[in-house]
Structure 1
Amino acid sequence: MTDTLSALFSCTVVGSGEILRLSGARALVAGYTGRDEAAVRHHIEELAAIGVAPPEDVPMLYPIATATVTTAARTVVPSADTSGEVEPVLLRYGGRYFLGVGSDHTDRTLETVDVGESKRACAKPIGPDVVAIDDWAEFDWDACHVRSWVDGRLYQDGTLAALLPPGDLLGVVSERLGDDGGDIVCFAGTLPLLDGRFTPGKRWDLELVLPDGRALTHTYTTIEGARDAYGS
């Protein structure tokens, strides 16, 4: 893995222009973060039907290398059988919290063998802009709207009301992994696919619309290449 991605992983705070440089942050992907337990169980059963092993815990936390998180407009993927999913991204930097939009790009073939490795096999795209969050408890998480498109086709569409609130998810992270007060990047879960099927593609468009109407967006394209050549 190159050092290029660490240099690329910086975000700009909307409104202030502050630059966050998070190359030393703890990074992880949270899976199965839906609030509806019955829906989560159903999703686990759907994945089991295509060979994906059920998680050991719900929600499940998958550590990833911080150097795989990137704002690059292009990312290298290990095979044609990969796909992304729009996710809110929770960031803590210097003790303050921020919200961004990203994609849990995953190797779907490897997912049937080892879910954690399937997530670590691909770079994790994140938008270059984030917004500051003074207090998660006062932020209207449920009113945020997310969408994704693959090669121009609408792929996901819904609100964050379907996902665990940030305070709850961060509490799980702290309980299971401990908390030294350091920087964190946490991909916080995703919404169901509109047609229920993972779709490989070349271009991914992500959007997270905030309660005040502002939108965080990111577009990236994929190209097949060596597993350790993420991004460019």
Structure 2
Amino acid sequence: MARTATSLRLRTVDGQPVDVTPGRLVVAGYTGRNQDAVRHHIEELAVIGVPEPDSIPAFYELDTGLLTVDETVEVGGQQTSGEVEPVLVRTDGRYYLTVGSDHTDRALERHDIKASKGACPKPVAGTVIDLGTQPESLPWDEITAACWLDGELYQDGTLAQLLPITQVLAEWDSFGSGDVPLVLFGGTMPLLDGEFRFGREWRMRLHVPGQPAVEFTYTTSVREN
């Protein structure tokens, strides 16, 4: 069954309302700064049957109905996990930065990456940082992001490990994506222990120097068939 577009009621860090009805939800993959390492990782995944992406970075356009600011989300099985990601919102000529989780079905990912991403909701924080009309001014390499799973640190580092989200956006726009309101997930950092883990409570945090940290927590429940 097709989902309907989500209307997101967001608020800037200084309390100004931002209402967005995204026309497109795009999750970018393989956005590591070291593209030689990215290529090596793709080759490793190919050995276990994960198909090579059509482009690098890769772009997975998903149903906007997957977006949510809810604190509880339903997933389809036990083998799903979140990933902390910077999220760029573009609407009415302005840009906003927030943090989200590319929650993914890991069992399905071995066979179809896009389907694995589309199988799970995409939680985002309800708070955003207003970047105005020139997001290029972000101190990208100094931004930190972290994720805790059931209270234990799962991911942590600076976004210097990733391509700047404005560069990823330019790559996406080069496909002629149009000027509809967009939510773009910019990629994630390596897991601290290198292995996916599954759990219930996911806490995400993004900190831009000079701005209040943006945080949110969501819990998952397995959908009954």
Q: Which TM bucket (shorter chain)?
A: over 0.9
TM superposition shift of 1:21: 2.5
Give the AA of the match of 2:45: L
* Inter-partner Cα distance in structure 2 for 1:96 and 1:32: 26
Cα offset, 1:67, TM superposition? 1.1
Secondary structure of the 2:111 match is coil
Count the aligned residue pairs.
224
Give the corresponding residue for 2:46. Answer: 48
Please say if residues 145 and 158 of structure 1, whose CA atoms lie closer than 8 Å, have aligned partners that are also in contact.
Answer: yes
Taking the aligned partners of 1:103 and 1:119, their CA distance within structure 2 comes to 11
Give the TM-score, by structure 1 length.
0.90
Flag structure 1 segments of 5+ consecutive residues without an equivalent.
Answer: 228-232
| Letter paired with 1:137 | E
Aligned equivalent of 2:114: 116
Q: Residue in 1 aligned with 2:6?
A: 6
> Does residue 218 of the first structure (1) align with residue 219 of the second (2)?
no
- CA–CA distance in structure 1, aligned partners of residues 48 and 212 of structure 2: 38
Percentage identity across aligned positions?
Answer: 45
Is the alpha carbon distance of 1:136 and 1:42 closer, same or farther for their aligned partners in structure 2, counting shifts above 3 Å? same
How many Å apart are 1:4 and its aligned residue?
8.6
Q: Distance in 1 between matches of 2:212 and 2:89?
A: 18
Q: Write the letter of the residue equivalent to 2:159.
A: L
Question: How far off its partner does 1:36 sit?
Answer: 0.5
Name the CA distance, whole Å, in 1 between partners of 2:91 and 2:184: 12
Conserved? CA contact 2:143–2:158, under 8 Å: yes
Q: Distance in 2 between matches of 1:141 and 1:85?
A: 19
Task: Give the 3-state SS of the residue equivalent to 2:219 in structure 1.
Answer: strand
Q: C-alpha root-mean-square deviation of aligned residues, in Å? A: 1.9
Whichever residue aligns with residue 63 of structure 2, its letter is A
TM-score by length of 2: 0.93
Match of 1:104 in 2: 102
Q: Is the 8 A contact 2:5 2:23 kept in 1?
A: no
Matched, 1:149 2:148: yes
User: How far does the alpha carbon of each residue in 1:10-65 deviate from its partner, in whole angstroms, 9 at most, with x for none?
Assistant: 211121x3322223431110000111112212332343354422212110000111
Correspondence for 1:230 = none
List structure 1 runs of 4+ shifted beyond 4 angstroms: 1-5
- For the 8 Å contact 1:144–1:160, the answer to whether it is kept is yes
CA distance in 2 between counterparts of 1:226 and 1:2 reads 19
